[in-house]
A and B are shown apart, each in its own frame.
Chain A
Amino acid sequence: SQTIHQWPATLVQPVGSPLSLECTVEGTSNPNLYWYRQAAGRGLQLLFYSVGIGQISSEVPQNLSASRPQDRQFILSSKKLLLSDSGFYLCAGGTASYEQYFGPGTRLTVT
């Protein structure tokens, strides 16, 4: 089974600073990879997904971007954080089946 690693677990960043969150996958090759955000008291919002190296699809126009430089690495970035970027960010991996497996998440607070 696949394992999703994410770091850091928590992050406090000032408005206007850059962001880089990393996600790596163990236990499978060529996974589909996803970035979600959960705002306080809300559901999971799909931000980006990738079906292969260098292939990124964006679901929601925003201040964030994603990249997939290697098969099992998925990075979420921002050049300048906004207050509204605060939330709980989750990376997930999936294969040909529908189930997605999630990492432990990163709590981002923009101050």
Chain B
Amino acid sequence: DQQVKQNSPSLSVQEGRISILNCDYTNSMFDYFLWYKKYPAEGPTFLISISSIKDKNEDGRFTVFLNKSAKHLSLHIVPSQPGDSAVYFCAASALSSGSARQLTFGSGTQLTVLP
């Protein structure tokens, strides 16, 4: 049972335009959400996160939106740059996981930014 779903395996966007990556979750106990970026043959790097008490968090070109009622979050990248081309993973955690702070990851979306 996939508790975190990224239904789009790939997305192509023109340089300078907005990239919108989507993520849905089913576990209502999740209260913290993260986005990671991964290049081939490298470990994921943390991008941005959001707590369930917020509906938006912004960091430079990256903004994450959370819609708790829809159990949906999205990552907006504006403007998109060719260097943003990577696989983006959505992840979620629950306070109930205790001190282990386990993350449940989605399957990822390959973003390609075309020059």
Q: Count of A-B contacts with CB under 8 A?
A: 60
| Contact among A6, A43, A90, A102 with B106 in the assembled complex (CB-CB below 8 Å) | A43
Which chain B residues in 58-101 approach chain A with CB under 8 Å?
Answer: 89, 93, 99-101
Residues A102 and B45 in contact in the complex (CB < 8 Å), given A43-B89, A46-B103, A57-B100:
yes
B100 touches A90 (CB 8 A): no
Chain A, residues 41-79, CB within 8 Å of chain B (1/0): the string is 011111001010000010100000000000000000000
Report which residue of B32, B100, B107 has the largest number of chain A beta carbons within 10 angstroms of its beta carbon: B100
Q: Which residues of B contact A94 (CB under 8 A)?
A: 101
Chain B, residues 26-54, CB within 8 Å of chain A (1/0): the string is 00000010101000011111100100000
Q: Which residues of A contact B89 (CB under 8 A)?
A: 43-44
Q: Which residues of A contact B102 (CB under 8 A)?
A: 34, 46, 49, 59
A90 touches B101 (CB 8 A): no
In the bound complex, what is the Cα–Cα distance between A32 and B101 (angstroms)?
8
Q: Which residues of A contact B99 (CB under 8 A)?
A: 32, 51, 96
B105 within 8 A of A: yes
Rank and list the top 10 A-B pairs by shortest CB-CB distance, nearest first. A102-B43, A43-B107, A44-B105, A98-B32, A43-B105, A98-B93, A102-B44, A105-B43, A99-B46, A103-B43
Instruction: List B residues at the A interface (Cβ < 8 Å).
Output: 6, 32, 34, 36, 41-46, 49, 89, 93, 99-108
